Amino acid sequence: MLAGCALLFAHTAAAQSLDAPQATGTAVTGTATETGASPAITDPQTTGAVAASDLPPALDEDFNRLNRREETIDGLRTRIDPEAGQASGIRIGSFVLKPALSETLNHERQKTGGTSQSRGFLETGLKGSLTSDWSRHQLSVIGEGILQDNLSGEGEEEPRADVDAELRLDLSDETTAKLRAGYSFEREDANDPNAIANAVEQSAVNTYRLGAAVERDLGLIRGSVGLDFERQTYGDVELDNGTTLSQEDRDRNTGTLTGRLGYELSPALIPFLEASAGKSIYDLRRDTLGFERSYTTYAGRAGMEVDLGEKLNGELALGYETFRFDDDRLGDLSGLSVDGRVNWSPQRGTDVLFGLLTYLDPSTTAGNPGSINYELTNIITHQLRSSLVATLSNSLTLRDFPSDTAASDETTWRTGAGLTWDMSRYLALTGDVSYERTNRDVGPSSDTTRVGVGLTLRR
């Protein structure tokens, strides 16, 4: 028993001697040496030292994790790729082709005055883009074609096609040349002022386009010169009595020369002045009513080009435009012109487009030169989820005829909404609904309502 007590006493004394600080000793701090009580050494790199309990661990916890994501060199957040999750396309040599095939089942109802008709139809669409992947220069081709097949009811089918190609040539750091070509096909709208009333099938309109432009930067001065050529041809109209009506007196060629001069206030703001002159020559000197419809056009504009990145970019111009016809009986058409296109992104995932366009629509009525049309377009696209996109579109078209003609002014309003659900990067489900109304100062108004649902296959 005495031996056991002795061993226990010795163990307790030894433990107290380890836990209690030394009453006397030597501690080294920097270059000073003191004798007496001193705190524990807090440098974890010093041999034999014990770190205090409130010190951080010698190794970061992240060092113990494997396969950590590599951060950017500058430490910034990775920018979201707008094409993430989309079809990658098909590589053809140095080009990338992105085709899309759609099939939509639609129902349409048209009402004019007290008469109405409806139809159900299948719409097949094919569109795509072909873009070069060159270190210098660029070629891009964008096309879309739509065919309609009536399944039930009555109504005119409305096929259309549109193809545009542009070749950009980087001649130098300050000089760029652009060559453009395009083709469009559409069936003339039955609500158009030039449409034939008793037609079973309206005229087919073919448009051919060619253009060339040169842009050059001279320090703070930006200059460009462009030449555009357009040819429009009109097919025969099929009447309800089985005969056809020729529209060849409407075929014409139009050439326009445009020059622009801008000054760079900053890389984001460039005010500019623009002037253009053009000539339109009809294939037939006189139409079936004996009028010479060829005309000369002059226009001047002043505007602002804005480039604030993806947040806000585009341009807006205000000016004056006049059309002078070869036939004095038609008189001149003149008016204010407003043209522009602005893209605005108030928040990520939401894009807003504003478009303004002024153009001439020649008439086929005796003594009527035509109308100056003003078109306002607004398209809002919002990403509800990564795979669900909603679209809201609105447009307003004003047809302004001369006051001394018998034609009445028209206002056409269109609105539509749609949803696109990407079931995968290659397949999407679409749904659309639209409404169109045309009001006339003289004559009945017309309404068109359309609903459709379909699938889109992308590659």
For residue 439, give the amino acid letter: N
Grade residue 379 by pLDDT with cuts at 50, 70 and 90: very high
Strand partners, 94: none
Q: pLDDT class for 369, splitting at 50, 70, 90?
A: confident
Between 127 and 22, name the one with better pLDDT.
Answer: 127
364/454: higher pLDDT? 454
| Residue 11: pLDDT band with limits 50, 70, 90 | very low
**pLDDT at position 27 over 90:** no
- pLDDT number for residue 201: 87
Percent of the chain with pLDDT over 70: 81
User: How far apart, in whole angstroms, are the C-alpha atoms of residue 320 and residue 73?
Assistant: 52
Q: What is the pLDDT of residue 76?
A: 58
How many Cα atoms occupy the beta-carbon half-sphere of 233 within 13 Å? 7
Q: Which of 295, 272, 278 is nearest to 217 (CA)?
A: 272
CATH number for the domain spanning 434: value is 2.40.170.10
> Per residue in 133-146, pLDDT tens?
998 999 999 999 99
Q: Between residues 377 and 400, which one has the greater pLDDT?
A: 377
**Does 447 map to a domain?**
yes
Please give the average per-residue pLDDT across 365-380, as a whole number.
Answer: 90
Work out the mean pLDDT of the chain and round it to a whole number. Answer: 84
- Specify if 348 maps to a domain: yes
Q: Provide the residue range defining the domain that includes 417.
A: 190-458
Residue 122 lies in a domain: no
Give the C-alpha distances (Å, rounded to integers) separating 412 from 220, 318, 435, 447.
42, 22, 11, 10
**Torsion (CA) 441, 442, 444, 447 in degrees, nearest 10:** -30
* Cα separation, 112 vs 363, whole angstroms: 22
Instruction: Please count the structural domains in the chain.
Output: 1
pLDDT band at 401 (very low <50, low <70, confident <90, very high): confident
The mean pLDDT of 196-225, rounded to a whole number, is: 93
In the numeric block, which tokens belong to residue 159? 């096929």
What is residue 36's predicted lDDT score, i.e. its pLDDT? 43
Check residue 443 and give left, alpha or beta (phi > 0: left; psi -120 to 50: alpha): left
φ, ψ of residue 354 in degrees (nearest 5) = -120, 130
pLDDT band at 370 (very low <50, low <70, confident <90, very high): confident
Q: What are phi and psi of 348, to 5 degrees?
A: -65, 130
What's the mean pLDDT in 357-383? Answer: 90
For a pLDDT cut of 90, what percent of the chain falls above it? Answer: 60
- Of 28-42, 219-233, 251-265, 275-289, the one with minimum mean pLDDT is 28-42
Q: Nearest 5°: CA angle at 305, between 299 and 307?
A: 160
Task: Give pLDDT, residue 68.
Answer: 65
Q: Which of 14-23, 64-73, 431-440 has the lowest average pLDDT? A: 14-23
Residue 96 lies in a domain: no
Element (H, E) at 116: strand 115-132
Question: pLDDT-derived band of residue 423, with 50, 70 and 90 as boundaries?
Answer: very high
In a domain, 160, yes or no: no
Residue 16 has pLDDT above 90, yes or no: no
In this prediction, residues 355-367 reach a mean pLDDT of: 87
Residue 219 has pLDDT above 60, yes or no: yes
Q: Please count the helices (runs of H) and the strands (runs of E) in the chain.
A: 1, 24
Average pLDDT over residues 100-115: 93
Collapsing DSSP states into helix, strand and coil, what is residue 219?
coil
Q: Is residue 116 part of a domain?
A: no
pLDDT score of 112:
86
Residue 269 lies in a domain: yes
Burial level of 282, CB count in 10 A (0-12/13-18/19+)? buried
Q: Is residue 10 part of a domain?
A: no
pLDDT at 258 over 80: yes
Tokens coding 32:
């000073």
pLDDT tens-digit readout, 144-165: 999 999 999 988 899 999 999 9
Q: What is the pLDDT of residue 54?
A: 52
pLDDT in tens, 36-71: 444 444 444 444 444 444 555 544 555 566 666 666
Residues 306-319 have a mean pLDDT of: 94
